[in-house]
Amino acid sequence: MIVCKFGGSSVADAQQIRKVKQIVDADPQRQVVVVSAPGKRSKDDEKVTDMLYACNAMVQQGSSCKDLFKKVALRYTTILSDLGMQAKPFLPVLEEVRQMIDAGHGAEYAASRGEYLAARMVATFFGWEFLDTDPEIVINHDGTVNPETWNNLKRALKPKTKYVVPGFYGCDPEGKVKTFSRGGSDITGAILSSAAKADTYENWTDVSGVFSVDPRLVPEAKVIKQMTYREVRELAGVGAGVFHEEAIAPILASGITINVKNTNAPMDDGTFILPTREKGEHPLVGVSAKSGFSRLSLRKLMLFKKSGIRHALLTMLHIFGIRPTFSLFGVDSIIWFFETTQASDSVINAMCSRLKSEFELEEVSVDHGHAIVGIIGSGVMQDSSVIAKSTTALAEDKIALNFFNYGSSDTSILIGVNATQAQDAVKSLYRALF
Ligand code: ASP
């Protein structure tokens, strides 16, 4: 059996939803369909999820979201009438959602309603069961999936029944609606695939698979035919879109095949994501970059003589809400890279003075505007020419390196560059290595 997840562009309007129905009808194995909220219909359009976050923001500022919510409601009623369905029975559902947002149920509740309404609408159109993910999918406060979820879904999924399921949300252990991070319907699809013991998890989007490099940067970019779970996770971790980096965890143990496919070109093979892949002709799968990092640099003579110092410093960072993504250790120095959005300038300043005084550091500084570029592929450690080719290409293109991380994973090489040079670095590396 197959679990399908259709992204926001696949349910953006009636025409797209008709394509979804054709795809689903073409194979009786497709028994569970997870949907996102309607996305953009054109470049300048708005995503329903963004509008719902805006509705909640209005309520937080003390106004009613009534006017703005009309735009949300119109997206659904237009789709319903374009599908030849009655919009009327849906109006009380829309009104109830609006009232709940106005009553201050918060950002996660508001955002989740995009998927909730989409799934109810698609379920009616298909004549399938609607299965709500609240309260079946329990999401811990740190965003991980609570194991209770597996028993809940086992109980909820009846054999020989076809379901439409909303992506992106579940509830927290106390029963309050909780969302995953943005793009989180991919995680819901993975959870349903695992719970329903699917043979394949089809992830339907608006491109024909995962690209080896962002096609906006390199127009001749190719779709990756096969990649491993580790490779997709590492590629998504350095900013490649298409598949959510946290969607591998729920299916890791079951080894289900993921197939990323295009709703607008269903005959294309797409990308297959597997526990292991055939040793193709290329040891690498892709290059990508993620910006938005800050660098914290600490220095003190004989810093590491003090036992437990790393732990103590990390505890201090934690107190200020900083969770570093990458670390580098020198003889007397430590560098941590963290996502800039984790702390405001004033929090960073307060943390730096605390670090300086408490640990008697000679130097503490933070600078912004960093990017991490990843060269991903399970063959990076086997092919020693990858390092030589990469550094030569970057030097020729005058791209300065802030760090080079080789060996901490057998699936990636990570390179720190200034964010202003990140796109050039990706292009340069792609040209040199692919
Ligand atoms: N609708 C949500 C978002 O825009 C979740 C998703 O699309 O997967 O992030």
Which residue is closest in CA terms to ligand 1's atom 5? 183
Task: Give 230-240 pLDDT, tens digit per residue.
Answer: 999 999 999 99
> Phi, psi at residue 323, to the nearest 5°?
-120, 100
Residue range 165-204, pLDDT digits in tens: 999 999 999 999 999 999 999 999 999 999 999 999 999 9
Q: In what order do the strands lie in the sheet with 30-35?
A: 129-130, 163-166, 30-35, 2-6, 200-205, 257-262, 271-274, 226-228
Residues of the chain with CATH 3.40.1160.10: 2-274
Residue whose C-alpha is closest to residue 167's, from 49, 71, 73: 49
Which backbone phi and psi does 156 adopt, to 5 degrees? Answer: -75, -35
**Which amino acid residue places its CA nearest to atom 2 of ligand 1?**
183
State the Cα–Cα distance between residues 423 and 434, nearest whole angstrom.
Answer: 16
- For the record, the structure tokens of 80 come out as 């319903």
> What is the CA 419 to chain-centroid distance, rounded?
20
Mean per-residue pLDDT, 205-232: 95
pLDDT per residue as tens digits for the range 48-67: 999 999 999 999 999 999 99
pLDDT of residue 347: 97
76, amino acid identity? Y
How would DSSP label each residue in 169-196? EEE-TTS-EEE-STTTHHHHHHHHHHHT
Per DSSP, the three-state class of 274 is: strand
Kindly indicate the confidence band of residue 354, based on its pLDDT and cuts at 50, 70 and 90.
very high
Cα(383) to centroid(ligand 1), Å: 38
Q: Per-residue pLDDT tens for 60-104?
A: 999 999 999 999 999 999 999 999 999 999 999 999 999 999 999
Q: Cβ(376)–Cβ(234) under 8 Å?
A: yes
Q: Write a three-state SS string for 142-171.
A: CCCECCHHHHHHHHHCCCCCCEEEECCEEE
Tell me if the bond preceding 324 is cis, omega within 30° of 0: no
* Count of beta carbons in the 10 Å neighbourhood of residue 336: 22
CATH architecture, domain defined by 286-433: 2-Layer Sandwich (3.30)
398, 418 contact by CB (below 8 A):
no
Atom of ligand 1 minimally distant from the CA of 181:
9
Residues in contact with ligand 1 by the CB-under-6-Å rule are 8, 36-37, 47, 49, 114, 167-168, 182-185
Q: How far is the CA of 8 from the centre of ligand 1 (A)?
A: 7
Atom of ligand 1 lying closest to residue 188 CA = 8
Report the predicted TM-score, pTM, of the whole model to 2 decimal places: 0.93
CA-closest residue to ligand 1 atom 8: 183
Of 309, 352, 329, 344, residue with least CA distance to 403? 329
The pLDDT of residue 233: 94
Picking from 186, 179, 156, the residue whose alpha carbon sits closest to that of residue 35 is 186
What pLDDT, in 10s, does the model give residues 241-293? 878 989 999 999 999 999 999 999 999 999 999 999 877 667 899 999 999 99
The conformation of residue 11, written as its DSSP 8-state character, comes to G
Enter the tokens of residue 262: 């295009």
Q: How many CB atoms lie within 10 A of CB 252?
A: 14
Q: Which of 4, 33, 47 to mutate to test the pocket of ligand 1 (most atoms within 8 A of CB)?
A: 47
Instruction: Give the residue range(s) of CATH 3.30.2130.10 domains in the chain.
Output: 286-433
* C-alpha 101 – ligand 1 centre gap (Å): 18
Q: What is the DSSP string of 317-366?
A: HHHTT---SEEEE-SSEEEEEEEGGGS-HHHHHHHHHHHHHHHT-SEEEE
Quick: pLDDT tens for 104-132.
999 999 999 999 999 999 999 999 999 99
State the closest ligand 1 atom to the C-alpha of 167, by its place in the atom list counted from 1: 8
pLDDT at position 281 is 62
Contact in structure between 261 and 209 (CB atoms under 8 Å): yes
CA–CA separation, 7 and 184 (whole Å): 10
- Specify whether the CB–CB gap between 415 and 404 falls below 8 A: yes
pLDDT of residue 408 exceeding 80: yes
| Average pLDDT score over residue span 348-361 | 96
Q: Which CATH architecture has domain 2-274?
A: 3-Layer(aba) Sandwich (3.40)
Cα of 326 vs centre of ligand 1, distance in Å, is 27
State the angle between helix axes of 107-126 and 14-25 in degrees (0 to 180), rounded to the nearest 10: 60
Question: Who's near 434: CB < 8 A, 6+ residues apart?
Answer: 212, 213, 282, 284, 287
Distance 241 CA to ligand 1 centre (A): 12
- The candidate with the shortest Cα–Cα distance to 208, out of 259, 161, 173, is 259
- Work out the pLDDT band at 146, boundaries 50, 70, 90: very high
